[in-house]
Each structure stands twice: as C-alpha cells, then as structure tokens.
C-alpha cells in the first residue's frame, strides 16, 4: 500500500519539492537529499528491503541506503528535498502511468512510502554494449507519487504507436515501459569522427510518454572538467609570464649594477 501525499514544487533552475505528510504517512528518499523537516517527522535509514536491494540501488548510482521519513506526530508536517544540480523535478503519478516508469540511473529523488526503486537493464545487446548512460536504468514501481530530477530544460513527448524518436543517450530522462528502447549507430565517416554527438543514439519507438533533458549530469561534468583544465593552464601560463618578466627585470638590474660597478673602479 502506497501513502497518498500532497506536494508543491518551488523554484526555477534549482528546484525543491515540499511534501506534506499526514500523521502516519511517510516518504522515501535518496540519502542526503533532504533539505528540511518540521517537528514530528523522524528518519529511518535502512537498505530498504535487504542487502540485495541495497546493492541493486548502488549499481544504478544511488546510495546503498535509503531513508524513510515518517510523520509520527499528531499534526500534519512538511519536509522538503532539493535537486542536486540545475534542472527540473518531474512528478510521476505511477497510478496513472500504469504502475511503472523507467528513468535514468541516479535520477531518483524521493517517493511516497510503498514505491519500490528497482534496477533495470536494457534488453537489447546493442543498448547494453553502446548505450552509455542508458544501459542501466531505474524502474519505479507502485501506485503513488514519485519524483525524479533531470538536468536543464525538460521536454515532454508523447509518442504514437510506431512513432520513433532518436535521442542522445544522456538526454533521455525517463520513459514509459511501453516505449521500445534500442541503440542506433549514427553512420557516416565524418559524422562519426567530427559530428560531436557520439557514435550512437537512443532510438525510442512508441507508444508512450517520454521525458527528455537538455543537460544530463555527464555533460555538465564534462564541461566543468574541461573548464577546470583550461583555467589551470591559463593560470600556469599567467604565472609563468609574470615569472619571466620578473626574471628579466631582475637580470637586467643585476647586469646594470655589475656594469656600473666596473666603470667606477
């Protein structure tokens, strides 16, 4: 049985989801996602169903442990969970979505107590070998509310039966189990070498709901890493330039002193 919870999403680029719990209700969340909680709410950290389930979550990039927040007070209480990086929080009503939904690994934020977070592998060999971020997925199961986080701007697509969409593997945020997922080679020598979009794309075939993200975490991390390397090189060049100038000035001063001393003798 899944708890029925009320919620409100606040913010724009760094959103939070605020959840109101009635007495006895609870919500499960990724360890470290909690922002604040009011009086009456207590934390219970566990593997969420045994060591095996903890290991399965760890495979998808989540914490080995999961925390349940229970309202053990006599009044309604609120708590909030924050997004880990710029993007949007997507609310998924699993009861209206057929009881299941697939999402990228490490995207789970929180869910009503009773929602299960399972690891799911793509069925196709090509997706397994070349799917990159889309190889290991999370499957959310239950009949209540779940919340996942995606980076950048979120685009919602509803694919008709047989309709296809090709997507960068990292930009696929979440999709219905009815959507067929496979990997397609980009093709073309110049496309492969100079296209800049990777060698493989995710091919989605409807019917079903799909959520896309414009800024996957891997892309953000790559840009930060590249910027950090460039900044370090520029700083080293700058310090080298200053050192070179200082050395030249010092050398000129010593030479002038030496020449000047020779004249006075």
pLDDT of residue 200: 77
Alpha carbon distance 45, 61 (integer Å): 18
pLDDT for the residue numbered 128: 46
Give 241's strand partners.
none
Give pLDDT < 70 ranges for the chain.
47-64, 121-135, 187-199, 218-220, 222-223, 230-265
- Residue 256 is predicted with a pLDDT of 53
Quick check: is 251 in a domain? no
Q: Are strands 208-213 and 172-175 parallel, antiparallel or unpaired?
A: antiparallel
Q: What's the domain range around 175?
A: 6-219
Whether the model pTM is above 0.95: no
CA dist 225 → 95, 228, 236, 239 (Å): 40, 5, 17, 21
- Interatomic CA distance for residues 211 and 254, integer angstroms: 69
In a domain, 188, yes or no: yes
Q: Report how far residue 97's alpha carbon sits from residue 140's, in angstroms, rounded to the nearest whole number.
A: 11
- 162 falls within a domain: yes
Count how many domains the chain has: 1
What DSSP letter does each residue of 162-229 carry, written as one string? T-EEEEEGGGEEEE-TTSEEEEEE--SHHHHHHSSS-SEEEEEESSEEEEEESS-HHHHHHHHHHHHH
| Residue 201 in domain | yes
Give the pLDDT score at 232. 62
Ordered strands of the 172-175 beta sheet: 116-121, 136-141, 100-104, 172-175, 208-213, 154-159
Q: Is the residue at 233 inside a domain? A: no
For residue 159, count CB atoms less than 10 angstroms from its CB and return exposed for 0-12, middle for 13-18, buried for 19 or more. buried
Question: Does 51 map to a domain?
Answer: yes
CATH number reported for the structural domain that contains residue 112 in this entry: 3.60.160.10
Report pLDDT for 138. 85
Residue 111 forms part of a structural domain: yes
The answer as to whether 231 is a domain residue is no
């Amino acid at each position: 049985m899944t708890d029925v919870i009320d919620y409100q999403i606040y913010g724009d680029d760094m959103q939070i989801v605020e959840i109101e719990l009635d007495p006895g209700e609870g919500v499960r969340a990724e360890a470290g996602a909690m922002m604040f909680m009011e009086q009456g709410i207590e934390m219970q950290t566990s593997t969420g169903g045994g060591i095996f389930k903890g290991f399965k979550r760890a495979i998808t990039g989540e914490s080995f442990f999961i925390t349940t927040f229970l309202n053990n007070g006599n009044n309604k209480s609120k708590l909030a969970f924050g997004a880990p990086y710029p993007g949007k929080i997507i609310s998924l009503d699993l009861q209206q979505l057929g009881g299941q939904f697939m999402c990228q690994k490490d995207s789970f934020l929180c869910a009503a107590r009773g929602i299960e977070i399972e690891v799911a592998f793509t069925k196709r060999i090509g997706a397994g070998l070349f799917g990159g971020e889309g190889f290991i997925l999370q499957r959310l199961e239950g009949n209540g509310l779940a919340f996942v986080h995606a980076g950048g701007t979120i685009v919602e697509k509803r694919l008709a039966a047989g309709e296809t969409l090709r997507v960068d593997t990292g930009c696929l945020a979440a999709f219905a189990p009815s959507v067929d997922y496979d990997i397609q080679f980009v093709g073309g020598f110049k496309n492969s070498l100079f296209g800049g979009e990777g060698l493989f794309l995710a091919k989605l075939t409807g019917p079903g709901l799909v959520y896309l993200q414009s800024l996957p975490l891997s892309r953000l991390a790559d840009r930060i890493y590249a910027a950090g390397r460039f900044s370090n090189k520029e700083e080293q060049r700058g310090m080298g330039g200053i050192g070179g100038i200082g050395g030249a000035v010092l050398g000129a001063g010593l030479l002038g002193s030496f020449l000047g001393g020779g004249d006075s003798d």
